[in-house]
Structure 1
Amino acid sequence: MGRLRPAVLAGILVLVPVLTACTAEGGPAPTGTVASVPATGGTMPDAPSTSAPLETTQSSNKAPVYWIGRTGGNVFLYREFRDVPEQENPVTRALRAMMSEKPLDPDFFTPWQNPDKLATSISGKDIITVDVSADAFNSNLDADMAARAIQQLIYTATAAAASSGLIDTGQQVRVRILVDGHTDYVAFGKVQLGALMTRAAGLVAPVWIIDPQENTEVPSGSVKITGRSTSPGAKLHWQILQSGDGGSKSPFLTGETTAAAGQGQAGVFTLALNLPPGDYELRVAQAGSGGEPDRNEDTRSFKVR
């Protein structure tokens, strides 16, 4: 899978405190709000018009963290759930992980730097304020990547607030980013901060594997695989490769499934596969139509023990 690796990103940057907003379904910004599109030239590359729904409340203390990755010639956001310390509130914990840790999946990266100061707050159940120090933005990014970095922050902040039950997901949720307490910062020299922002539609990966996470171990027998597609009702092709000696990989199982179309679970897909002990790679892609090749593939390495 040809996602952009961290080395290609030398020069991506740290994030500055700003307030942003988001919608429960990740839709377009409402009138009067500013989506995370560079204000000083440059536009986001074309992307699908759909977006992932806001996360639902969960009992787990794992933090939803979004990373950046490349597939199908475009750059998208991918989510992992991470173990984080509990000293801070859920939104701050998730953002700190996004800015200071590395993704589990080596195909993902983050342009943010570990900030000296980071604080978050929520008001009215629908506005998240993020205040971060300017050292978070110490990377050189072009306008498109800077816009995606800001959206990475917005998606992570809103996901953490939603999954921990801190916001009303039935309302339009907005985010404001402050940098060192001020609203006039230009992030990465490209994106004007300070206005309320929302999740930009179409930036989440068209297909992503949720479980198992990268390099995790699962018990042998029936292995449950879950994921999401931004095209509910669409066909997906999947393949399991088994690793052999010398790093070789050979096809083990292949199949086809359909992303759920029902409301509430739209786009979700689930597989239950009987796998013996071994090292595996899972590949899932949107099925091509009319003889076209499959597209937007996601991959995941895991172990069965």
Structure 2
Amino acid sequence: MPETTAPRRSARADRRVRTAVVAGFLAVPLLTGCIAEPVPEPTTPSGSGTTAAGTPGVPATSAPLETTQSSNKAPVYWIGRSGPNVFLYREFRDVPEQENPVTRALRAMMSEEPLDPDFFTPWQNPSSLATSISGKDVINVDVSEDAFNSNLDADMAARAVQQLVYTATAAAASSGLIDSGQQIRVRILVDGHTDYPAFKHIQLGDLMSRGPGMVAPVWIIDPQEGVELGAGNVKITGRSTKAGSKLRWQVLKGAEGEAKAPYLTGEATAAAEAGRSGVFTLDLKLPAGDYELKVAQAGAGDGPDRNADTRSFTVR
């Protein structure tokens, strides 16, 4: 899967505003009973209170581990909605270099805003955070209890824990700290102790790995949200969890301050060959303007398209 990066947008509102918005969005009355399947499989030997179940059109696969890259940008996973479903999406972020790659990626996940307004994080900025690597395949994360100060139901709590697992493993693999050719596991400690109930639902302490069915079935990798690109040929890259699947895409265009209108539409096929499974690319010629790209899995027959991802960007 291509691992591309993009410039970071300007800073958003301060942390207090972010916390209020997230807390309101994640209130139990809103989330309880409204999270669509699939629910993740248990990721520890003792289980986590979740079960595995499939949803039509949502393959129960996990994203392949990130490959080593020369960029110092950190891979960070966020939670986002696609219709009735909730998935993990990744962005590459600029981060300070005074901490190790895993710690700084997790700190960004817990304390920063996603670039894409469709994404969010239920994690809170922790007063302490440390990571280390044991042996060849285990990442230890020790985080303070205040990181869990969000009110979540069990399904969203499971996704939040997997958000941490995906981010930690991505950072370790992309920085070359751990060989991406093996399964990487994560042990989460809270203030140095095991057996903490994360968000009051998920028992921590045992080794966890990436859960299937968590990543978005369709995922625009590049460009990232809000970037500016040069006019002319614009290359879009992304991934579908279903190799060889048909995708439909649409580009909407508008001048600054105007509503966007349909500009281009088309179809693409996710690659099926080894090493590029699920990857799709679009080569578009776009004049200056503000754009929104939408990519979705094509519905069967006359059925609706599914699992759309969107991305806004500007061409100068």
Contact 1:45 1:144 in 2 (8 A): no
| CA offset digits 1:98-150 (Å, max 9, x no partner) | 00000000000000000000000112220000000000000111000000000
Q: Partners of 1:45 and 1:196 in 2: how far apart?
A: 22
Q: What letter corresponds to residue 312 of structure 2 in structure 1?
A: S
Post-superposition shift, 1:293?
A: 0.9
Structure 1 residues 104 and 36: CA distance shift in structure 2, 3 A: farther
- The aligned residue for residue 16 of structure 1 is none
Q: Equivalent residue of 2:120, what SS?
A: coil
Aligned-residue sequence identity (percent) comes to 73
CA displacement 1:28-51 (0-9 Å, x = unmatched)? 77xxx6179633xx5467453122
Post-superposition CA distance 1:55-100 (Å, at most 9, x none): 1111111100000011131110000000101000000010000000
Alignment of 1:190-229 (within 5 A): 190-229=201-240
Question: What is residue 287 of structure 2 aligned with on the other side?
Answer: 276
When structure 1 is superposed on structure 2, of 178-187 and 165-174 the one drifting more is: 165-174
Q: Note if 1:9 corresponds to 2:54.
A: no
Opposite residue 9 of structure 1, the aligned amino acid is F
Q: 1:183 aligns with which of 167, 172, 194?
A: 194
TM-score calculated relative to the size of structure 1: 0.88
Q: 1:138 aligns with which of 149, 162, 167?
A: 149
The reply to whether residue 34 of structure 1 matches residue 44 of structure 2 is: yes
Please state how far the C-alpha of 1:9 moved relative to its aligned partner. 2.3
Q: Identify unmatched segments of 5+ residues in structure 1.
A: 13-26
What does residue 104 of structure 1 align with? 115
Residues of 2 paired with 1:69 and 1:219: CA distance?
Answer: 28
Cross-structure match for 1:51: 62
Matches within 5 A, 1:71-86: 71-86=82-97
Contact kept? 1:234, 1:286, Cα under 8 Å: yes
- 8 Å CA contact 2:235–2:282 kept in 1: the answer is yes
The AA in structure 2 aligned to 1:125 is K
1-side partners of 2:128 and 2:46: how far apart?
22
Cα distance in structure 1, aligned partners of 2:300 and 2:70:
39
Contact 1:125 1:166 in 2 (8 A): no
2:133 corresponds to: 122
> How does 1:151-300 map onto structure 2 within 5 Å?
151-244=162-255, 246-300=257-311
Query: TM-score scaled by structure 2?
Result: 0.85
Distance 1:61 1:37 in 2: 35
Question: Higher mean Cα deviation, 145-154 or 251-260?
Answer: 251-260
RMSD: 2.0
Q: 2:160 aligns with which of 124, 149, 158?
A: 149
Describe the superposition over 1:215-271 as per-residue Cα deviations: whole angstroms up to 9, x where unpaired. Answer: 100111101111111001101111110024653111111111111111111111111
Cα distance change of structure 1 residues 222 and 36 upon mapping to structure 2, 3 Å threshold: farther
Distance in structure 2 (CA, Å) of the matches to 1:214 and 1:100: 19
- Residues 191-211 of structure 1: CA deviation (Å, up to 9, x unaligned): 000000010001100001111
| Counterpart residue identity of residue 150, structure 2 | S
Residues 36 and 197, structure 1, Cα contact 8 Å, conserved in 2: no
Is the alpha carbon distance of 1:245 and 1:131 closer, same or farther for their aligned partners in structure 2, counting shifts above 3 Å? closer
- Quote the offset at 1:170 in angstroms: 2.0
